[in-house]
Structure 1
Amino acid sequence: MSEDVPSRPEASGETVPKPEAGDETDLCVSLMWHARPPASWALAEERLEEAARAAFRAGSPDVDSKPHEVAIVFTDDAAVQALNRDFRGQDKPTNVLSFPAEMMAGDVFEDALPLGDVILSLDTVGREAATLEIPPQDHVTHLVVHGVLHLLGFDHMDETQATEMESLETEILGQLGIADPYGETEPLAQAGIAG
């Protein structure tokens, strides 16, 4: 899956409005569609936003009380492969990349603090869902959770980190009504899917 990278790329596309003053939203989620999934995937934007917020709450219980914002970009293999090559030195597509926001001294944010960007390749996600024989919408939701947790500093570079991250993902997905992606099906790493 994803690793931390030195900086994040600029993103453009459709966004959702920022929370109004006094809104209790702890994470403003902007969904950007540079590619569209097949209609049969039945992706619900509200479900994806809910997944991002659930991951944010579970992964950052002590975070600053000020709202944060995240951009989730849906694109294709070519775009993700270019990012993976340019920022991670791996010239191949992957399912999800996470680019944490870099705060500079003196940055002032009135509305929300940037958390970062999560980029998903719908091409790779579709192939993986077919290989794992799981609903594509569940796999997309899992990868949104996974990407947001990476933005919060979670990783899977060693067995201890992987166990902690997978456990938290399983808990969050369970709250969203999605089966354990590591227990009921072949684990992603064993299926040759993890990046």
Structure 2
Amino acid sequence: MSAADDENDGQATERVVIRDRRKIDPKSEAGKASEAKTAAGPGAHRAAEPEEEVAAEVTEATSALGAELEALRSELDERTHDLQRVTAEYANYRKRVDRDRGAAAELTTGAVLTALLPVLDDIDRAREHGDLVGPFASVAESLTAATGKLGLAAFGEKGDAFDPNRHEAVAHQTSADVTEPTCVEVMRRGYTLGERLLRPALVAVADPE
């Protein structure tokens, strides 16, 4: 055993502690990393998602929205076509009903006026013979005016060109005074209701020689 060992024998050995009092430079790489870690705090790794994943989610959401919009547009077009078809069918129905109603009203009016034609023939004969006077003349004029308001129109005058669609010839003769078949005598006037022929006129026809 040496003398040094004898000297240290029996007393505690003192530990040597080294302290580094140097400060970290904030501008150094270590300082920057430390500041970044401190500023980020806990959970920062969850906020920093990869850009590819974000873009994929946006694309998927856009595709779903586009598909839904396309479905809504298709349904809207279908409903629009249905509405247009129903509107057209209703318009055609109204036209058909109005046409049928008008035809029925014209048939009814024609039937009533046809029943009055013999009375009008008597009035014409009385007028030709000069018997249309007094109160009877007033009644006759009122009846003629009323039938005229309903659309009844008389035709058939001496000198009219013969029309087989409107005239019924009961006699034929030749004449040097005409250049075409002409009504030279009217036995009974004809009547029309609008464009409809109620009764043809009875006439005598003269043909050119």
TM-score norm. by structure 2 comes to 0.18
For CA contacts below 8 A with separation 6 or more, give which structure has more relative contact order: 1
Q: Compare CA radii of gyration and give the structure with the larger one.
A: 2
Structure in which a larger fraction of residues adopt helix = 2
